[in-house]
Structure 1
Amino acid sequence: MPGRCDGNRGAVAIRPRRRKGDAMRAFDGLPAPLRRWMAGAVLPWSPESCLAIWKRASDPQDAVARLNRAERATLEKAGQ
């Protein structure tokens, strides 16, 4: 639809969800390597979902690898 403002989501076909709470405050409370990953992510991830993946990892490198796999899988699912 021409003229429609999609924000920073670009052409991603994933439906947005309403979030509760202060996303910026949650983002600011994340570990620095996780904030860096989120800043360069292709998709608009929530701090809560990223932190859940981060906590399951054994170390920061494993966490980044898990986040990259999750993002790739989500993009494939969305047909990107």
Structure 2
Amino acid sequence: MRRNLQTTLRGKPRPDPMRDFDALPPPLRQWLATARLPWSPRSARRIWAKYQGDAAAALASLERAERATLARDVPKIWGKAHPSVQI
């Protein structure tokens, strides 16, 4: 049974979310710190990269994506009477 515990294969590199977060541009890090949803640094960077340096447009796009997700999920989770449904 000991053979199963030892391998010469390399393991997959594990992502370090804090290192990924620290590598983000400061305006994006600030937005993520105050976001209403838990964004991964990878998904936020993907949207940020589409705008190639236009921070205002990138942040507006992130805000729209977050609002759309909330508008879709809040009624399903907490019901249509929840105050956030009017977002």
TM-score, normalising length from structure 1? 0.72
Alpha-carbon shift at residue 30 of structure 1 (Å): 0.2
Structure 2 residue runs without a partner (length 5+):
1-13, 75-83
1:26 aligns with 2:24: no
Letter of the structure 1 residue corresponding to residue 30 of structure 2: R
TM-score, normalising length from structure 2? 0.66
* SS of 2:38 mapped into structure 1: coil
Greater RCO, CA 8 A, separation 6+: 1
Matches within 5 A, 1:47-66: 47-58=41-52, 59-66=54-61
Structure 1 residue runs without a partner (length 5+):
1-19
Give the Cα separation in 1 of the matches to 2:73 and 2:18.
26
Greater C-alpha Rg: 2
Give the Cα separation in 1 of the matches to 2:27 and 2:58.
9
Indicate the percent of aligned positions where both proteins have the same amino acid.
52
Q: Which has the higher helix share?
A: 2
- Count of matched residue pairs: 61
Alpha-carbon shift at residue 65 of structure 1 (Å): 0.2
Q: Which runs of 4+ in 1 moved over 2 A?
A: none
Q: Which residue is equivalent to 2:71?
A: 76
Give the Cα separation in 1 of the matches to 2:51 and 2:67.
17
Superposition CA RMSD, Å = 1.2
Give the Cα separation in 2 of the matches to 1:57 and 1:63.
6
Give the Cα separation in 1 of the matches to 2:38 and 2:23.
17
Q: Which residue is equivalent to 1:16?
A: none
